[in-house]
A and B are shown apart, each in its own frame.
Chain A
Amino acid sequence: MNIQFSWKHGLIALAVAAAIGCNGGDSSATTPTVENKGTEAAPAAGARKAPTAEGNKVDGDVIKIGIVGSLTGDQKPWGEDSIEGGKMAVEEFNAAGGINGKKVELITGDSNSKAEGAKTAAEKLISDGVVGIVGEVASGHTIQIAKSAFDKGVPVVAIGATKTDLTNEGTHVSRVCYIDDFQGPVMAKFAYEELGLRKVALMTDNKQPYSQYLSKTFGDKFKALGGSIVKEAFYESGQTQFSGQITELKAENPDGLFLSGYFTEVGPIAQQVRQAGLKDVKLMGGDGWDSPQLLTSGGDAILGSYFCNHYNNKEDRPIVKSFLEAYKKSHGGKEPGTTMAALGYDATKLMLDALKRAKSLDSKSLIEAINETEKFAGVSGDITLKGFNGNPPKRALVVEVRPQSEGFQVFRKAYEADEIK
């Protein structure tokens, strides 16, 4: 059994290596699989298939664009923010005149915080005649949207889906956020160099592909830097008692814990970690932590922990300031609670920008135009998709969790795309 298994893996690795060819050759130690490719190394031609279906066309005076988000369920904070961002982008676009007098209509779909929900919502939007879909925030949901959209030839611009192999679904998928191959190593570098951690334990949500892969990329980089991963414990979304797993981690006496799951479980884990007597262990995570809800569920235990995020409300780039001003004006003076508002705005604006450049107003030309995007000025930074197979090189910010009175996320250090190899 074992022998067969490893043989199979070896064969697959060989085949993939052959398909990629000697692409730079700097990936060195790790087996070069498609998943391991970072932002700068492009997967082989043919890895991303172009959809053959014709897609939707604009007829009449209204251009329909769809956006999918979680308006109900656990991930409502992200869904609401991303859709608010999308609406802002469309309003600005229409106010500026639209395209040749044609106005854009944004149709929303609710994924109900579930992968099946995202699939149904995407299919409904496509049958309603949208030329493109913006969304989603969660990788597991976006993969379903991408699969449905591939069959119909409709482009998808993902908002916050960071799972690396997402864009392998086809040339119709691209995103405006960084990927887990970047995010995991960023946190590993930060943990090793800035926090000085050497022994880290991982806690992975077995029900979330996002969490599994993020744990892996973090662990690989942390080990490459010279640190050691002393243990990986598994839990599942919805679990409430973590004492069994925490006891196992505590036995290894780690300096830090990397919690790669979503904020709904990270909060209770943090509290139980402290109660189990691990008082000084540093807690870290990815962008799945990004919700003010974390402060309620994590209480005092989560304060002083670090996570990786896409942008920060306090940045002083002019585009961030103008975005926040516009957002506050239409939302009663409130700043967006999560970064998904900015990313939703960027994703929608990018699609509208591509629509302007497209040869004709249909899905097929839109896919081409999206993939030609260069130096698009987004709130979360410049976005270039041309030559990057849908994965734009982005910067990542490490933030510290502070009480709401200090602004929840306090910026600590930024990493540019080319800083992580």
Chain B
Amino acid sequence: MTVFPHLLAGLELSTLPQQLVNGILLGAIYALIALGYTMVYGVLKLINFAHGEVFMLGAYTALFTSWSFGFTEVGNKQDSSPGILILMLIVSMTVCGVVGVLIERFAYRPMRSQPRIASLITAIGISLLLQYGGQLFLPSSPPPSISDKVNPFKGNIEIPLKPADSALLAQAEQLKAKVTSTKAAYDEQLKSEKDSFNLSPVGKELRTASQDAERDYRNAIDKANKDALVITLPQGQVIMLVTTVILMVILTWLVMRTTAGRAMRAASLDFDAASLMGINVNTVIAFTFFIGSALAGAGAMMNASFLGGTKIDTFFGMLPGVKAFVAAVLGGIGNIPGAVLGGILMGLAETMVIWAGYGNYKDAIAFIVLIVVLLVKPGGLLGSNKVEKV
């Protein structure tokens, strides 16, 4: 009966806007990967389980490209330029696109006339081959990571949702004088101390005073920020989101406005009829794999370089792959806007769970959401409700 007040008691409303933004930023990457799953499924009715591994290869490609620019060790290079990042993005997308086409040509095409389960098993086989076979020739132990120098955008943008309360700001300003004076006293004392890690009692007292003043000041500033509902956006992640949106716009144009896109849509509507109408289905399928894999490559490159220090190993694509697959099913597999919606929802669900204080269950929630949606709407949120035998 009193369950809800109890559950809501621990919620911090001031972080909600920030967490919503976090969720969208996270979801954008899921959406990018989910597009690959959904496009391939739309045309071939095949779940490409090797898609996560294409994502992994994209991260490695970005790593090798960064190495080729000399970002191998810490401190041996100045910050890079946007040009290098764009080049890394293009290389990763191209390599992944080609890998996707090769996988389709040599693993899936020979299986196309066989029952669909054979292709599904082949997909799982390719996935395992790349995960474990990759360890033979890709550096994975200890897992490397892209140098933080690759990303020149390390600052953040602070956006207040409403004007700051001037009274709170004035309060904070008043505290500033004390911070300066206590800090000066401590700095003066430091000159006569031998070791800042074995302070004399006087030194410790002065340091505590200085830190207490600083803490009060920080708390006051924090209070003002919370009141103004300030959202902090790391620059790198904003660039990730903008790039993702641009790629999605290009994709929409490709699918809706070009001949190749029309052929793709025709093939996904009725594969056999499309081929009878003179559409070269092999080309259409290769094109679909290229686009889907290139999007995964873009996601991987951005994930590995803007979220600096992320370790890259041959299982890099496993968890994002699974989550993106869930996102694709959630939005209605085969449906392109559905994949984007599903991805964003997955990202939001994950951060909302953390916001609500149940961070332990953030991965479980993805699958709970999936089960609930499939029970209520088996075709996914935007999918058709046609029953499909798998």
- Do A and B pair up? The answer is yes
**Given A72-B141, A74-B143, A76-B142: A404 and B22 within 8 A (CB)?**
no
A296 touches B319 (CB 8 A): no
Q: A302 CB to closest chain B CB, in angstroms? A: 8
Q: Which B residues lie within 8 Å of A194 (CB)? A: 197, 199
B15 touches A248 (CB 8 A): yes
List A308-346 residues whose CB lies under 8 Å from chain B: none
A272 touches B307 (CB 8 A): yes
**Which of these, B19, B141, B219, B232, contacts A74 with CB under 8 Å?**
B141
What's the Cα separation between A75 and B155 when bound, in Å?
31
What's the Cα separation between A414 and B147 when bound, in Å?
32
A196 touches B354 (CB 8 A): no
A360 at the A/B interface (Cβ < 8 Å)?
Answer: no
A234 touches B359 (CB 8 A): yes
Q: Which B residues lie within 8 Å of A250 (CB)? A: 15, 232
List A68-112 residues whose CB lies under 8 Å from chain B: 70, 72-77
**Given A244-B22, A251-B226: A74 and B311 within 8 A (CB)?**
yes
Q: Which A residues lie within 8 Å of B310 (CB)? A: 240, 268, 297
A297 touches B311 (CB 8 A): yes
B211 touches A272 (CB 8 A): no
Among A74, A291, A403: residue with most chain B CB under 10 A: A74
**Given A248-B354, A267-B145, A277-B156: A243 and B73 within 8 A (CB)?**
no
**Given A238-B319, A251-B12: A271 and B222 within 8 A (CB)?**
no
Q: Smallest CB-CB separation from A242: which chain B residue?
A: B307
What's the Cα separation between A5 and B26 when bound, in Å?
37
**Which of these, B74, B307, B350, contacts A296 with CB under 8 Å?**
B74
A253 touches B218 (CB 8 A): yes
List B273-318 residues whose CB lies under 8 Å from chain A: 303, 307-311, 313, 315
Q: Smallest CB-CB separation from B145: which chain A residue?
A: A297
What's the Cα separation between A77 and B143 when bound, in Å?
10
**Given A276-B156, A295-B74, A297-B309: A271 and B215 within 8 A (CB)?**
no
Q: B282 CB to closest chain A CB, in angstroms? A: 36
Q: Which A residues lie within 8 Å of B237 (CB)? A: 243, 275
What's the Cα separation between A309 and B261 when bound, in Å?
59
Q: Which B residues lie within 8 Å of A265 (CB)? A: 311
A245 touches B156 (CB 8 A): no
Q: Smallest CB-CB separation from A238: which chain B residue?
A: B319
Q: B300 CB to closest chain A CB, in angstroms? A: 11
List A224-255 residues whose CB lies under 8 Å from chain B: 233-236, 238, 240-241, 243-245, 247-248, 250-251, 253, 255
List B119-152 residues whose CB lies under 8 Å from chain A: 135, 141-145, 147-149
What's the Cα separation between A295 and B142 when bound, in Å?
13
Q: B34 CB to closest chain A CB, in angstroms? A: 16
A298 at the A/B interface (Cβ < 8 Å)?
Answer: yes
Q: Which B residues lie within 8 Å of A35 (CB)? A: none
Q: A235 CB to closest chain B CB, in angstroms? A: 8
Interface size class of B (residues with CB under 8 A): 35 or more
- Scan A153-190; emit 1 where CB is below 8 A from any B CB, else 0: 00000000000000000000000000000000000000
A403 touches B74 (CB 8 A): yes
Q: Which A residues lie within 8 Å of B22 (CB)? A: 243-244, 247
A365 at the A/B interface (Cβ < 8 Å)?
Answer: no
Q: Which A residues lie within 8 Å of B236 (CB)? A: 275
B377 at the A/B interface (Cβ < 8 Å)?
Answer: no
A198 at the A/B interface (Cβ < 8 Å)?
Answer: yes
Q: B79 CB to closest chain A CB, in angstroms? A: 10
Q: A190 CB to closest chain B CB, in angstroms? A: 8
**Which of these, B74, B142, B204, B207, contacts A299 with CB under 8 Å?**
B74
A199 at the A/B interface (Cβ < 8 Å)?
Answer: yes
What's the Cα separation between A253 and B12 when bound, in Å?
13
List B183-232 residues whose CB lies under 8 Å from chain A: 197-199, 204, 207-208, 211, 215, 218-219, 222, 226, 232
B18 at the A/B interface (Cβ < 8 Å)?
Answer: yes
A49 at the A/B interface (Cβ < 8 Å)?
Answer: no
What's the Cα separation between A412 and B143 when bound, in Å?
29
Q: Which A residues lie within 8 Å of B23 (CB)? A: 244
B360 at the A/B interface (Cβ < 8 Å)?
Answer: yes
**Given A247-B18, A276-B156, A295-B74: A270 and B309 within 8 A (CB)?**
yes
Among B74, B207, B232, B303: residue with most chain A CB under 10 A: B74
What's the Cα separation between A245 and B14 when bound, in Å?
15
What's the Cα separation between A299 and B306 when bound, in Å?
13
What's the Cα separation between A272 and B307 when bound, in Å?
7
A206 at the A/B interface (Cβ < 8 Å)?
Answer: yes
List A200-227 residues whose CB lies under 8 Å from chain B: 206
What's the Cα separation between A125 and B144 when bound, in Å?
31
Q: Which A residues lie within 8 Å of B148 (CB)? A: 271, 298-301
**Given A196-B207, A267-B145: A244 and B350 within 8 A (CB)?**
yes
Among A265, A271, A276, A404: residue with most chain B CB under 10 A: A271
B173 at the A/B interface (Cβ < 8 Å)?
Answer: no
Q: Which A residues lie within 8 Å of B208 (CB)? A: 196
What's the Cα separation between A297 and B156 when bound, in Å?
20
Q: B366 CB to closest chain A CB, in angstroms? A: 13
B363 at the A/B interface (Cβ < 8 Å)?
Answer: yes
A236 touches B363 (CB 8 A): yes
**Given A291-B142, A293-B142, A300-B148: A275 and B309 within 8 A (CB)?**
no
B74 touches A404 (CB 8 A): yes
Q: Lowest 8 CB-CB distances: which A-B pairs, in order?
A: A299-B148, A297-B309, A244-B354, A267-B309, A275-B234, A268-B309, A76-B141, A244-B351
Given contacts A72-B135, A299-B308, 15 further A-B contacts (CB under 8 A): A196-B211, A236-B363, A240-B303, A243-B26, A247-B18, A247-B355, A248-B359, A271-B308, A271-B309, A275-B156, A295-B74, A296-B309, A299-B74, A404-B73, A413-B197
List 8 contacting pairs A-B, 8 Å CB cutoff, sorted by A. Answer: A196-B204, A198-B211, A248-B357, A251-B12, A253-B222, A264-B143, A275-B155, A275-B236
